[in-house]
């Protein structure tokens, strides 16, 4: 005959659950374990916490998992929630069961060391540290315990970012490098890449571009796309104007798909269907940049710059910005074209203002470098 369980514990499926009243407070929660011994230990801990809170006014000890779970529930509709959840998942093995008050530079070090040992970049580590700080700030300033009325923790320790001097510098490509890249891209990637080069749109702004966002301007014989605020990185609407190249790309995609602009053919021969493009940075991109670098070295009889051999999709946006600057486009106009956060109502443009933006992007529409603004870059071929 098995031993008696502690009153207040009930097994539901594989897990033990608590339903017990202590000092007038009802505890109803999962113990997150299928072991009766562990469940009883957890129940005793919760009883102790509640008695300390009600009798002595002490703060219950909330763990990082407790805080992270609440953070995710409160922010589930945020655009960045998927990235936040991924970073939290990476943090849990290191600090998940730690009390919030015990999280500081020292207890974060195993997490930092692990990411460095596995070759992750400073930026990746700092993203994890930033979400930790954000959660800790909520616990120290906003979230309050129902029993004591006090914040979850009294304060937070400073958690400093790391700097391993490994930040990858932007690499805007030259017209010659663009030629090599386009020549080696798979067919379905050429149009999205040309669009990015001529609009400065981010990868997902290109891939997720929708026909419903197009606004036709017959008086200017063109159209623009208005990206909604819930979609853009800085949560502000953005107008994407088209030069002759990007307009030609858009027109080439009409009729391919009812909602999405950029697509690719998927399926077996004779059964192919159009599917929305979900990313540019894929195996096809990696193969193209490798082959482009080899072609560059063969024809230029020189090593391809490290940045070109390891080209990122975001470098296309840097290329757009650099070419505008080279064409003497003002900083204010460049900011508008790149969709930088300004606080202005950026989508309320007059016809004349739209024409001014179109004139600016037309300056970089030529694919022949002899007809385009000179782009002279002083580069080191060293790894950056």
Are residues 51 and 69 located together in one domain of the fold? no
Specify whether the CB–CB gap between 293 and 302 falls below 8 A.
Answer: no
We report the CATH number of the domain holding residue 131 as 1.10.150
- Rounded Cα–Cα distance for residues 101 and 99 (Å): 5
Quick one: 218 and 357 in the same domain?
A: yes
Residue 376 included in any domain:
no
Q: What is the total count of domains within the chain?
A: 3
- Based on the domain organization, do 230 and 82 belong to the same domain? no
What pLDDT is attached to residue 378? 43
Q: Give the integer Cα–Cα distance in Å for 251 and 255.
A: 9
Whether residue 1 is contained in a domain is answered as no
224 and 355 co-located in one domain: yes
Q: Is residue 379 part of a domain?
A: no
pLDDT tens-digit map of 105-161:
999 999 999 999 999 999 999 999 999 999 999 999 999 987 777 899 999 999 999
- pLDDT tens digits along 262-311: 999 987 666 788 999 999 999 999 999 999 999 999 999 999 999 999 99
Do 42 and 109 fall into the same domain? no
Residue 104 lies inside a defined structural domain of this protein: yes
- Given 93, 117, 141, which residue is the final one in a domain? 141
pLDDT at 191 over 90: yes
pLDDT band at 54 (very low <50, low <70, confident <90, very high): low
Q: What is the mean pLDDT of the chain?
A: 89
Tell me if 347 is assigned to some domain.
yes
On whether both 97 and 227 belong to a single domain, the answer is: no
Q: Are residues 247 and 349 in the same domain?
A: yes
- 255 and 287 co-located in one domain: yes
* Tally of CA atoms within 13 A in the half-sphere of 242 that contains its CB: 22
Last residue of a domain, one of 56, 73, 90: 56
Residue 7: predicted pLDDT: 87
What pTM was estimated for this model as a whole? 0.72
Q: Which two tokens stand for residue 10?
A: 């009930």
Residue 193 lies in a domain: yes
Q: What is the spatial distance between Cα 262 and Cα 256, in angstroms, rounded to a whole number?
A: 8
The pLDDT of 306-327, averaged and rounded, is: 96
Say yes or no: 182 and 41 in one domain: no
Q: Is residue 370 part of a domain?
A: no
Q: What is the pLDDT of residue 313?
A: 97
CB 67 within 8 A of CB 152: yes
Asked whether residue 252 falls in the same domain as residue 355, the answer is: yes
Q: Does 186 share its domain with 319?
A: yes
Grouping H, G, I as helix, E, B as strand and the rest as coil, residue 19 is strand
What band does 334 get if pLDDT is binned at 50, 70 and 90?
very high
CATH number at residue 190: 1.10.443.10
Domain that holds residue 182: 175-362
Specify if 322 maps to a domain: yes
Tell me: do 218 and 276 sit in the same domain. yes
Q: What is the DSSP string of 276-307?
A: E---SSSHHHHHHHHHHHHHHHHHHTSPPPHH
100 pLDDT band, cuts 50/70/90, is very high
């Amino acid at each position: 005959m098995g031993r008696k369980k502690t009153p207040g514990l009930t097994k539901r499926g594989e897990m033990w659950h608590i339903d017990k009243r202590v000092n007038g407070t009802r505890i109803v929660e999962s113990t997150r374990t299928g072991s009766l011994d562990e469940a009883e230990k957890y129940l005793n801990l919760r009883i102790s916490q509640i008695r300390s809170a009600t009798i002595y006014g002490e703060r219950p000890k909330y763990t990082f998992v407790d805080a992270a779970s609440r953070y995710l529930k409160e922010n589930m509709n945020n655009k960045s929630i998927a990235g936040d959840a991924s970073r939290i998942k990476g943090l849990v093995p290191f600090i998940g069961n730690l009390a919030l008050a015990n999280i500081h530079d020292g207890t974060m070090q195993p997490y930092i060391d692990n990411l460095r040992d596995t070759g992750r970049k400073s930026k990746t580590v700092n993203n994890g540290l930033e979400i930790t700080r954000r959660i800790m700030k909520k616990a120290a300033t906003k979230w309050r315990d129902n029993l004591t009325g006090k914040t979850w923790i009294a304060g937070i320790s400073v958690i400093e970012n790391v700097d391993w001097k490994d930040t990858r510098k932007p690499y805007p490509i030259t017209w010659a490098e663009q030629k090599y890249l386009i020549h080696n891209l798979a067919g379905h990637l050429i149009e999205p890449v040309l669009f990015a080069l001529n609009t400065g749109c981010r990868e997902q702004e290109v891939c997720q571009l929708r026909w419903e966002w197009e606004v036709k301007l017959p008086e200017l014989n063109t159209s623009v796309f208005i990206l909604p605020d819930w979609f853009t990185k800085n949560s502000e609407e953005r107008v994407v104007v088209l030069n002759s190249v990007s307009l030609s790309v858009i027109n080439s995609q009409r009729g391919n798909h009812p909602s999405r602009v950029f697509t690719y053919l998927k399926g077996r021969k004779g059964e192919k269907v159009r599917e929305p493009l979900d990313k540019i940075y894929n195996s096809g991109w990696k193969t193209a940049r490798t082959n482009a670098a080899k072609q560059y070295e063969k024809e230029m009889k020189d090593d391809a710059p490290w940045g070109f051999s390891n080209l990122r999709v975001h470098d296309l946006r840097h290329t757009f910005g650099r070419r505008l600057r080279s064409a003497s486009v003002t900083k204010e106009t460049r900011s508008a074209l790149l969709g930088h956060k300004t606080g202005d109502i950026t989508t309320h443009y007059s016809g004349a203002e739209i024409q001014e933006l179109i004139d600016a992007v037309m300056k970089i529409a030529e694919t022949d470098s002899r007809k385009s603004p000179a782009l002279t870059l002083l580069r080191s071929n060293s790894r950056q």
